[in-house]
Structure 1
Amino acid sequence: MPWKLVWYCAFENKGKAEDFELYLKSGSGKAFVYKRLVDVALTKDDNDRG
């Protein structure tokens, strides 16, 4: 099965991208990833199958 892009994020410069990467590795960032990306993607995938 080919990969399917479900989320894309771009930044104005490398510094902002690195700051966001550090945030995603924090506790709050991990919660953000699960709530906004993983959970949404899984829900969408389940809806596509039904």
Structure 2
Amino acid sequence: MGSKTLCEWRRHEIPEALGELRKIVRKPKFICTKCARSAGEKEYLCHPLKLKKKA
């Protein structure tokens, strides 16, 4: 998918890039405050917010 954020992915693109998507969301560290998607790196989200670790 290149440098697109998850927010920019279209439904029809998801099945084509399922392997890449699995890597992106496997261990989420950030959540998008706009659309609630999660990712391991903030670059994949348009409005990232770091998730706090459990106490």
TM, length-normalised to structure 1: 0.29
- Normalized per residue, which structure has more strand? 2
* Greater relative CO (CA pairs within 8 A, separation 6+): 2
**Higher-helix-fraction structure:** 1
Whose radius of gyration is greater, 1 or 2?
A: 1
